[in-house]
Amino acid sequence: MGGQACVLYGGAEFSRDTDLVVLADDENLRRLAVAIAVLEADVIAVPPFERRFLESGHAVHFRCRHPQAAGLRIDVMSQIRGLPDFEILWERRTTIETDDGPIEVLALPDLITAKKTQRDKDWPMIARLVEAHYAQHGGAGDEMVMSFWLRQLRTPVILCAVANAAPQACRQLVAERPLLEFALANDVDRLTAALRAEEDRERAADRVYWAPLRRELEQLRHARRT
């Protein structure tokens, strides 16, 4: 669900760690614990590897010591802001075939939602992911693809092109994403400003979401020190 997924979708070339979204039930977490043990991985920082922390939205962080994965960091989550429960994510996942077997990846729209955070590095990645999808389709697609681009594109010139290629679909989505009016009008300056304001709102929402979780982490750190 993180940088490795972005690599598989063509939006990045390198990632230093592996981020996973998992089903947080007892049996599945037992299986995860076995895999973590095989990797000789230890929990780093807080919180500890417990179901209640995953279910409340925390990430659990591991560092691997196995010689074939030495130093690799693995971050595990179960709940992600803006996304439904794991069962729905699993139903609409993307399966990518590789020489080493299939890899199950968050669907691209879900990955983009997961990337709408307060971190500076995530927003250029969102733009690259959608641009890569646009390029892979040669700038043309069915109604579902065009709707995806209209909802998620962050590159003003490309968004204007898609809006004017599918004006009816664009008008239908204006209520959901008002900045599409500027895309239809080819008003790049106002569109650029509106995209920035949209990003700022998402960053603010992410800060609000994480505020109580961060307070809980601070309490856990304090308890560990004392």
Summarize pLDDT for 120-160 with one digit per residue, the tens: 999 999 999 999 999 999 989 899 999 999 999 999 999 99
Average pLDDT, the chain: 95
Between the CA atoms of 148, 154, 155 and 160, what dihedral angle is there, to the nearest 10 degrees?
60
Instruction: Name the 3-class secondary structure at 110.
Output: helix
Please tell me the distance from the alpha carbon of residue 216 to that of residue 54, in angstroms, as a whole number: 13
Using the predicted structure, report yes or no on whether residue 112 has a pLDDT greater than 80.
yes
Query: pLDDT tens across 52-102, in order?
Result: 999 999 999 999 999 999 999 999 999 999 999 999 999 999 999 999 999
pLDDT above 90: residue 166 = yes
| CB-CB neighbours of 220 under 10 Å | 16
DSSP tag of 1: -
Question: What Cα–Cα distance (Å) separates residue 104 from each residue in 96, 177, 221?
Answer: 6, 30, 34
Residue 190: how many CA atoms within 13 Å on its side-chain side?
10
pLDDT at position 226 is: 80
